[in-house]
Amino acid sequence: MVGYLGPEMLNRLSALVIVVSVLFICGINPPLIASNGGVRNASRFDEKEFTSKLMAMLQDLNQSGVSPQRAGKRINVEFLYFKSCPAYKQALKNLREALKGINLEADIILTVVNSEEEAVRIGFQGSPSIRINGKDIDGQNEGYSYSCRLYNIDGKTTVTPSKEFIESRLRQLLR
- % of the chain beyond a pLDDT of 70: 60
In a domain, 14, yes or no: yes
Antiparallel, parallel or unpaired: β 151-153 and 156-158: antiparallel
Q: What is the pLDDT of residue 19?
A: 64
Give the domain range for residue 52. 7-64
| CATH number of the domain enclosing 149 | 3.40.30.10
In a domain, 32, yes or no: yes
pTM given for the model: 0.60
Q: Which of 15, 33, 64 is the last residue of a domain?
A: 64
Residues 110-165 have pLDDT tens digits of 999 999 999 999 999 999 999 999 999 999 888 999 999 999 999 999 999 999 99
How sure is the predictor about 1, in pLDDT bands with cuts at 50, 70 and 90?
Answer: very low
Q: What is the pLDDT of residue 141?
A: 86
Q: Give me the number of domains the chain comprises.
A: 2
Which residue has better confidence, 112 or 46? 112
In a domain, 153, yes or no: yes
In a domain, 69, yes or no: no
Could you tell me if 80 and 163 lie in one domain? yes
Quick check: 3 pLDDT over 80?
A: no
Could you tell me if 106 and 155 lie in one domain? yes
Could you tell me if 79 and 161 lie in one domain? yes
Q: What is the mean pLDDT of the chain?
A: 78
Could you tell me if 88 and 56 lie in one domain? no
Could you tell me if 160 and 82 lie in one domain? yes
Could you tell me if 148 and 109 lie in one domain? yes
In a domain, 145, yes or no: yes
Could you tell me if 26 and 83 lie in one domain? no
Could you tell me if 80 and 131 lie in one domain? yes
Write 23-30 long-range contacts (CB < 8 A, 24+). 23/50, 25/53, 25/57, 26/50, 26/53, 26/54, 26/57, 27/53, 28/53
